[in-house]
Copies of this chain bind each other. A is one copy, B any other.
Amino acid sequence: MSRELPSAASVWGKLWGVSVGPGDSEWLTLKGLQILQAADVVACPQNRDGEPGMAYGIVKSHLRPEQTILPLDLPFVRDPVQLQQAWTAAGETLVTRLAQGQDVVFITEGDASLYSTFSYVAQTVHHLAPTVDITTVPGVCSPLAAMAALNRPLSLGGEKIAILPALYDVSELTHALEWSEVVVLMKVASVFGQVWQTLHDLELLEQASLVEWVGSSQEKQYPSLVDLADYTPPYFSILIVRRHDYRF
Show the binding face of A for B, using Cβ within 8 Å.
19, 21, 24-31, 33-34, 111-116, 119-120, 122-123, 125-127, 134-141, 144-145, 147-149, 151-166, 172, 175-176, 179-180, 246-248
Q: How far is the CA of A159 from the CA of B90 in the complex (A)?
A: 23
Q: How far is the CA of A242 from the CA of B30 in the complex (A)?
A: 29
- Nearest-Cβ distance from residue A127 to partner chain B, whole angstroms: 8
- Nearest-Cβ distance from residue A58 to partner chain B, whole angstroms: 12
Q: How far is the CA of A71 from the CA of B51 in the complex (A)?
A: 49
Q: How far is the CA of A69 from the CA of B24 in the complex (A)?
A: 28
B28 and A114 form a contact (CB under 8 A):
no
Q: How far is the CA of A245 from the CA of B126 in the complex (A)?
A: 16
Contact pick for A144, options B138, B147, B160, CB 8 Å: B138
Closest chain B residue, CB of each to CB of A124: B248
A151 and B134 form a contact (CB under 8 A):
yes
* SS class, residues of chain A in contact with chain B: mixed
B162 and A160 form a contact (CB under 8 A):
yes
- Nearest-Cβ distance from residue A153 to partner chain B, whole angstroms: 4
Q: How far is the CA of A122 from the CA of B152 in the complex (A)?
A: 10
Task: Identify 9 new A-B residue pairs, CB closer than 8 A, beyond the known A19-B144, A122-B151, A138-B148.
Answer: A26-B30, A28-B30, A29-B140, A112-B148, A122-B248, A123-B246, A138-B144, A155-B163, A179-B179
Q: In the complex, which residues of chain B have a beta carbon less than 8 angstroms from the beta carbon of A166?
A: 158
Q: In the complex, which residues of chain B have a beta carbon less than 8 angstroms from the beta carbon of A21?
A: 29, 138
Q: In the complex, which residues of chain B have a beta carbon less than 8 angstroms from the beta carbon of A162?
A: 160-163, 179-180
A111 and B29 form a contact (CB under 8 A):
no
Closest chain B residue, CB of each to CB of A154: B113
